[in-house]
Structure 1
Amino acid sequence: MTLLDRPGRSDPLTGGERPLLRVSGVKKSYTTPQGPLSVLNGVDLSLAQDESLALLGESGSGKSTLLHLIGGLDDADAGEIVLDGVRVTELPDAERAALRRESIGIVFQQFNLVPSLTVSGNLAFQARIAGRFDAAWQNELLNRLGLAGLEQRYPEQLSGGQQQRVAIGRALAIRPRLLIADEPTGNLDEATGDDVLSLALDLIRRTGCGFLMVTHSTRLAARLDRQVVLASGRLAAS
C-alpha cells in the first residue's frame, strides 16, 4: 500500500495531529447521453478518530457517490482520499478491496445480508474473510445489538430493524478504523431507526472508530458530533 509517514500520527501538510480521514479536492463526474454530469466539484473533508460526522444534502447531490469513493468502491476523477495514512485514491483494485476488508465497515440502506447465512454467519462474514474473527467480540455484538437468541435465524425470519442490526454488527465485527453508513435507517420507521442509531453510536464509541453517515434527517444528523451539507458539489457546515 502507499503510505504516509505513520510515526507520531502527524499530518505532513499541517504539522498537527493527522486526521483519520482526509478528503482533498475530490472531483467526480459521470457520462450521460446529454454529456458529462459533474457530481463532486472539489470536496474537502476531514474526520478525526472517534469522531462522528453526518453528511446531509438533497437527493442526487452526490452523498452516496462521495461515500463510495471514500470506501474505495469507485474511482475519483481528481483529488486525494487518505485513510489512516493510506492514499486510497492511489491503490489498485485488489489493495482497495483488502483495505475495505480490514479497515472499513460499510452499512447500506438495503441491509445486503447473505440470505443463505444465519445471523451468526452474517455477523462473522467479513471478519472471517479478513482473518480477524473474534468469538468474544461476536458474542458481545450479539448481546449489545439485541440479537442474542436469534443466532440461528435467517434474514427472511427477521424484522427490518433486526436485519439492520445484523448489518451494523457485521460492519463492526472487524473493529474497523472507519464505519461509513448510507442512509442506515432509511428503510425503518422512526422509532426503530432511532433505536438502531443509538445502538450503532454506542458500539462506535466502544470500538473507537470514526463514523461517517449519509442521512436526509436533520434530526438524526444532530445526534452526531458534526454535520456538513453537500450542495453544488461542495461541502459546507450545516
Structure 2
Amino acid sequence: MLLTLRDVRKSYNTEGSRVGVLKGVSFELDAGQHLALTGESGSGKSTLLHLIAGLDMPDGGQIRVSGADLAGMTDAQLAAVRRGKIGLVFQQFNLIPSMTVAQNLAFHARLAGKLDEDWNAELTERLGLAACLNRYPEQLSGGQQQRVAIGRTLAAKPDLILADEPTGNLDEDTGDVVIELMLQLVSDVKAGFILVTHSTKLAGLLHRRLHLTHGLLQ
C-alpha cells in the first residue's frame, strides 16, 4: 500500500480555544490510484495534504508512506521523503524567480539525484514549454507557470503526487487543459495522486472521490 491513514486527528488554537480540524480521518491509496478530495473551504483539505507531505504532524493517528511511519522520522528524513517520494503542486506556482524555466524544471529532480535528461526533455515537449526554457517565471502566463510547476514535480518521478487546487489561479479553459495534461503525465509515471478540488467536474475524472466535512470523510 502506497499511503495509509489511520484515525488522523489535527486541531489548532484559535482565539484561546482548541478547534478540531480533522477528527479521525482514515483511508488508503494504492500505487497508481487517483483520488479526488473535495469539501467546503475550511474543511481541512489543505491541512490533510500538509500532514501527508510531512509538512506538519498530526495530534493523533498514523500516516504511513510506502510502509514508513512519518511520525517516527526526523526533519531530515521527512525532507528526504519529500525529495524522493512525494511531489507537491500548489495553487500558487512557487517557482524560483531567479531561475529560468529549464532550471526550475530540473531543480527537484536534481536535488533528489533523480534527474533523467530524456524524461525531462519529454516533459518539456509535452507540456509545451520548449520555446520558454530560457525565460524567467515573471515572463510567463499563469498557465505556463503552472505547467512548469507540474513538470518540476513530475521530473523526479515521485511515488505520490499531492495537488492542492492546482488550477485555482487559472481560467476554466486553461485549467481544463492543464489538468488533462497532468493526469496523463501522472499516469505515465504510475504515481499515486491526490487532488484537492472544489470542482465536481474535475473530481469526476479521477478513480475515487472522498468528501471531507466537519473533519470527517464521507
Same fold? TM cut 0.5: yes
* Residue number in structure 1 paired with 2:147: 165
* Residue number in structure 2 paired with 1:98: 80
Which 4+ stretches in 1 moved above 2 angstroms?
none
What is the one-letter code of the residue matched to 1:85?
Answer: G
5+ residue gaps, structure 1 = 1-18
- Cα displacement string for residues 201-226 of structure 1 (whole angstroms, at most 9, x for unaligned residues): 00011100000010011111111111
Whether 1:155 and 2:148 are equivalent positions in the alignment is no
The alpha-carbon deviation at position 132 of structure 1 amounts to: 1.2
* Residue number in structure 2 paired with 1:227: 209
3-state SS, counterpart of residue 124 of structure 1: helix
Picking from 67, 82, 92, the partner of 2:64 is 82
Identical amino acids, percent of aligned pairs: 57
Aligned counterparts of 1:208 and 1:116: Cα–Cα separation in 2: 31
* Residue number in structure 2 paired with 1:110: 92
The alpha-carbon deviation at position 29 of structure 1 amounts to: 0.4
Aligned residue pairs: how many?
Answer: 218
3-state SS, counterpart of residue 149 of structure 1: helix
Which structure 2 residues correspond to residues 165-204 of structure 1 after superposition, within 5 A?
165-204=147-186
- Give the TM-score of the pair, scaled to structure 2: 0.98
The alpha-carbon deviation at position 82 of structure 1 amounts to: 0.7
What is the one-letter code of the residue matched to 2:201?
Answer: R
Aligned counterparts of 1:194 and 1:23: Cα–Cα separation in 2: 30
Whether 1:21 and 2:8 are equivalent positions in the alignment is no
Considering Cα pairs closer than 8 Å and 6+ residues apart, tell me whether 1 or 2 has the greater RCO.
Answer: 2
Whether 1:145 and 2:153 are equivalent positions in the alignment is no
Picking from 124, 140, 164, the partner of 2:106 is 124
3-state SS, counterpart of residue 132 of structure 2: coil
The alpha-carbon deviation at position 89 of structure 1 amounts to: 2.3
* Residue number in structure 2 paired with 1:39: 21
The alpha-carbon deviation at position 99 of structure 1 amounts to: 0.4
- Give the TM-score of the pair, scaled to structure 1: 0.90
5+ residue gaps, structure 2 = none
Aligned counterparts of 1:120 and 1:22: Cα–Cα separation in 2: 35
What do you get for the CA RMSD once the two structures are aligned? 0.7
